Structure 1
Amino acid sequence: MAERADHGALMDETYRYQRLIYDVTRKYYLLGRDHLIEGLDLSPGQTVLEVGCGTGRNLLAMGRRYPQARLFGLDISEQMLTTARAKLGQGAVLARGDACAFAPEVLFGVDGFDRIVLSYSLSMIPDWRGALAEARRHLAPGGQVHIVDFGDQADLPLWFKRGLRHWLARFHVAPRDGLGESVAAVGAASVHRTLYRGYASYAVVARA
């Protein structure tokens, strides 16, 4: 528990000021987020939770794409949630919580979600496999976890891969090279593919 509290404090400190320019700067390298949103294929009244919702950028885009969906957001950083609340207003229900252990009934008043989104959040969560398993645990029947994050950059120049990872480490971000294998292990029905020559990974895990 202390480790998780420390991670929350670290995220608050990291993004205390970064949150103010986050959306402007991240649009150039958090690639594949709109691809994920399009693939959610939400019907009216369905629920979607973004774990690690940050500034609320994705939830705002989801609301525009699926105006009749019910939106929820979870983040461990109160600093990020401050920005998300200002951006989303009443458009989403937001709560502070740990991606590896949260209770939807307590935080949101629902017992499961039709879609759960992990968009460039697994690369920031120390126990990222635990977060993936926790997300799947909170799917409603027929639900899906949709993931986009940094890939292994296998088809990109080595200098680019090294430079990217060195720069990302400054923000406590680490690409998860084992994402594809972990997705296959956690879901009975899953898909995984790379985007942009391995720059990003996209995955879907369905509830068994």
Structure 2
Amino acid sequence: RYPEARFFGLDISAEMLETAAAAIARENRSGRVTLALGDATNFDAGTLYGVARFDRIFVSYSLSMIPGWEKTVSAALAALAPGGSLHVVDFGQQEGLPRWFRALLRGWLKRFHVAPRESLREVLESESERTGATFHFRTLYRGYAWLGVIGAAR
């Protein structure tokens, strides 16, 4: 849909990057996607990609697995271009789901070292206020997931 769009992926796991690279190659998108090994809590877009700022940054179901995840939000906001936006989706608190299902899901996630971040909304909101950005937040699927969007000032 956007043939001029370029994409950049970051992961701390070389194995995950190998899997992503194979999927990208299968779809003949290698020329549009650049992958880098790095820590989302402290990365330099210029060094990793030769790009100073991004129009959109997406963090999908990963903050719940990153120690010191709050630093990822700060690093992403620092890498946004003026007028850009940070989109974060991750596990919510499952507040609208039946208690038995919530307990089962939490047990399953814990097996994979996934911990839904209870303070996700507050951290995103605080960071948006600190940077003078707009903030929108939605609960999805009865709390299964949370979606936050921070729009950087122009």
Question: What amino acid is aligned across from residue 204 of structure 1 in structure 2?
Answer: V
RCO comparison, higher one (Cα < 8 Å, 6+): 2
| Cα displacement string for residues 51-71 of structure 1 (whole angstroms, at most 9, x for unaligned residues) | xxxxxxxxxxxxxx5433110
Question: What amino acid is aligned across from residue 202 of structure 1 in structure 2?
Answer: L
Q: Distance in 1 between matches of 2:57 and 2:3?
A: 17
Structure 1 residues 87 and 204, CA gap change in structure 2 (3 angstroms): same
User: Which residues in structure 2 correspond to 1:137-156 (within 5 Å)?
Assistant: 137-156=78-97
TM-score, scaled relative to structure 2: 0.90
Partner of 1:189: 134
Structure 1 residues 66 and 165, CA gap change in structure 2 (3 angstroms): farther
The number of residues matched between the two structures is 144
How far did residue 153 of structure 1 move? 0.7
Partner of 1:83: 19
- Which residue, 169, 172, 185 being the options, matches 2:110? 169
Q: Distance in 2 between matches of 1:195 and 1:125?
A: 21
Counterpart secondary structure, 1:174: coil
| Cα displacement string for residues 172-206 of structure 1 (whole angstroms, at most 9, x for unaligned residues) | 11111111111110113111110111111011011
| Cα displacement string for residues 110-148 of structure 1 (whole angstroms, at most 9, x for unaligned residues) | 001000000001111111111111111110111110011
TM-score, scaled relative to structure 1: 0.67
Residue 45 of structure 2 corresponds to residue 109 of structure 1: no
Q: Distance in 2 between matches of 1:200 and 1:68?
A: 31
What residue ranges of structure 1 are gaps of 5+ in the alignment? 1-64
Query: Larger % of strand: which?
Result: 2
Indicate the percent of aligned positions where both proteins have the same amino acid: 54
Question: What amino acid is aligned across from residue 17 of structure 2 in structure 1?
Answer: L
